[in-house]
Structure 1
Amino acid sequence: MAAESSFRALRAVEKDEGFFVTEIQEMPLASLPDHDVLIKVRYSSLNFKDALSAHGHRGVTREFPHTPGIDAAGVVVECGSGAFAPGDEVLVTGYDLGMNTPGGFGEYIRVPSDWVIKKPAHHDLRYFMVLGTAGLTAGLSVDRLATTVKPSDGEILVTGATGGVGSIAVALLAKLGYQAVALTSKVDHSDMLVRLGAHRIVDRSYVEDLPDKKALYKETWAGVVDTVGGSLFSKAVKAINHSGAATTCGMVAGTEVSTTIFPFILRGISVFGIDSVEISKARKERIWQLFDNEWALTNLDGISHDISLEELPAAIEKIHMGKMLGRMVLRHNP
């Protein structure tokens, strides 16, 4: 496969100080960084971090103009290290992709071979981008929770259940025999959560309205998969059963956590932080292999929507405003 001399990419551009727009630009292939694997991107996906980058969040991306896209799935064009052959179908998620290294919102990326994973055998590239970083994070969360909490222990609360991580966590928990309780402010989309396997749906206000000053609430959940952080996570922790556990991976509801020591010393709960960016390549490969085999999810069509590069800016605004449901998959032209 020969590479074109130029390619299209969605770029975040600073027009005035602090004012950012997105533009589809024609980029020379030579503009990509000097890494050893050139990949023609077939699919990417939209994540909250991409929206932050597109809006000029310097905690995500330091220099602009920039091409966001923390996920990419495509075909190897060149590999200087010999680790991959031209034509290999591969996945790249996390590390610096889409943050300060041009990402999957471009039709080509060039990355270090250590970032690249060969696509598992049984599912196509699009399936892995429906999952993307959201699915990888959900898989890491459920995998970690399962070391402490078993399906017979009781219900698992999933916060932000209609979002990317939350919706895939609901589907995966159901696949593994857990009773997933989907917490959401979008209860009018309960049908989507039921199709994913949610045991029941609870309005976000159920947790939000719990009294702030109580050190502990009634034991309610065997575990929590938290995707939003903030006060929701702080309150959910206080209602975990004795010897239960929680995972946390997001911060859209806030970065501060307020609790007491009592859930930990009186109920013996555990809290696990989940990172999908800088974990080892071996851990990523393990989770992708699980999703390709015993964790294979067949009910994701209802939460995934393909969009073009031209449709991407509107989708970015939607996720930035908290109105996104499920997963948006960017399909590049062949």
Structure 2
Amino acid sequence: MTSTDTFSALRLQTGEPRPIPEVCTLNRSDLPAGEVLVAVEHSGLNYKDAMIINGLGRLVREYPHVPGIDLAGTVRESTDDRYRPGDRVLLTGWHVGERHWGGFSQYARVQGDWLTPIPDTLDARSAMIVGTAGFTAMLAVEALEQGGITPESGEILVTGASGGVGNLAIALLAALGYRVAAATGRPENTAHLEALGACSIVPRTELAERPDRPLLSERWAGVIDSVGGDTLAHALAETQARGVVAACGLAGGAELTTTVIPFLLRGIRLQGIDSVQYPANDRERVWQRIGELLSAQTLERCLAEETGLSRLPQRADALLAGQICGRVLVTPGSP
């Protein structure tokens, strides 16, 4: 690829009330500095991507900007001794797609420290069906394990079950032998969630309001929560003694109004999940484990749809509106 070779990208320009998205033609000289040039085969549309496309949360401070917090593909050029042309790599986290141009582009130039080799059990497509959502879900599952929660401990609640994190958390927990209760506000997704491994479906309305007492009847040995807000407060009040709650999202709000009573009287652990700056030296192990636990068939079940660059703004709106069940795979080479 020469400096004059062109490629397509989704670029955001400053606009009001939201950034202005456009599919544009770029060349290599337009890309930001970095040690490794990656030909991007696939990316994924995450909740954070949808926020960025809509200008929410002040996640992007400088425009023009190419979003996309995930990418997977093949190294084309590298000044990092760890990577050579032809290597298969993926990237999630490190504020790529926020502070640094991301994966909604046919090419990306990034730092070598941000890359992870794609394990033999996955390819670029399957890695991006997993993406940040699945990586986060795996870290949440490991938080339960590290807290001593086993399949024998009891039922695990997954909130926001119809979302990408929720779908993959259900699949990972089921693969490990856990009994999963899937909380969703979309009963039409019941068959899909059960196919992923959910043993029961919890209507979102049961958890949507802040509990009227510090402690409610014990229901959950562990919780993976991607909703936050009053849903997280309610789940804490229903978690069993010495249970673990992994908090990994805020789709329902960033505020948490609760009491210390569940922590003092039941010894509950509330564990935050940070997938953005998770240590680089352990990422390969986590990705290897994901590839071993999730079959190709299961990953395809987690896939809601595939799209090119031009439909991303529309799909971002649908994702924020809760209209997509599962993962959206992005192929930058498609229109």
Match of 1:156 in 2: 156
Deviations 1:213-258 (A, max 9, x none): 3010001111111011000001100111111110001011011111
Deviates more, 1:197-206 or 1:51-60: 51-60
Are the counterparts in 2 of residues 309 and 330 from structure 1 also a CA contact under 8 Å? yes
Is 1:103 aligned with 2:97? no
Contact 1:12/1:55 (8 A) holds in 2 = no
8 Å contact from structure 1 (residues 74, 90) kept in 2:
yes
State how far apart, in whole Å, the 2-side matches of 1:75 and 1:4 are.
20
Instruction: Report deviation, 1:164.
Output: 0.4
| Equivalent residue number for residue 141 of structure 2 | 142
Q: Is this contact kept in 2: 1:3–1:77, CA < 8 A?
A: no
Name 1:196's counterpart in structure 2. 196
Q: How many aligned residue pairs are there?
A: 332
1:295 positional shift: 4.9
Assess if the C-alpha contact under 8 Å between 2:74 and 2:88 holds in 1: yes
Q: Is the 8 A contact 1:157 1:181 kept in 2?
A: yes
Scaled by the length of structure 2, the TM-score of the pair is 0.95
Deviation at 1:4, TM superposition (A): 6.2
Gaps of 5+ in 1: none
- Inter-partner Cα distance in structure 2 for 1:251 and 1:282: 27
Letter in 2 for 1:281: A
The alignment's TM-score, normalised by the length of structure 1, stands at: 0.95
Identity, % of aligned positions: 39
Find the counterpart in structure 2 of residue 313 from structure 1: 313
Structure 1 residues 114-263: aligned runs within 5 Å = 114-147=113-146, 148-209=148-209, 212-263=211-262
Question: 1:152 is paired with a residue of what secondary structure?
Answer: coil
State whether residues 134 and 164 of structure 1, in contact with CA within 8 Å, keep that contact through their aligned partners in structure 2.
Answer: yes
Decide whether the 8 Å contact of 1:39 with 1:75 is kept in 2: yes
Q: Does 1:322 align with 2:326?
A: no
Q: Hey, what's the Cα distance between the residues in 2 that align with 1:123 and 1:2?
A: 30
Structure 2 gaps, min length 5: none
1:98-138 alpha-carbon deviations (Å, 9 max, x no partner):
00211100111000100011111122111110000000000
Shift of 1:294: 4.1
Equivalent residue letter for 1:5: D
Q: Take 1:176 and 1:303, find their aligned partners in 2: how far apart are those partners?
A: 17
- Superposed, which structure 2 residues align to 1:33-52 within 5 Å? 33-52=32-51
Matched ranges for 1:12-51 at <5 A: 12-15=12-15, 17-51=16-50
Alignment partners' CA distance in 2, 1:35 and 1:43? 20
State the 1:51 CA deviation. Answer: 1.1
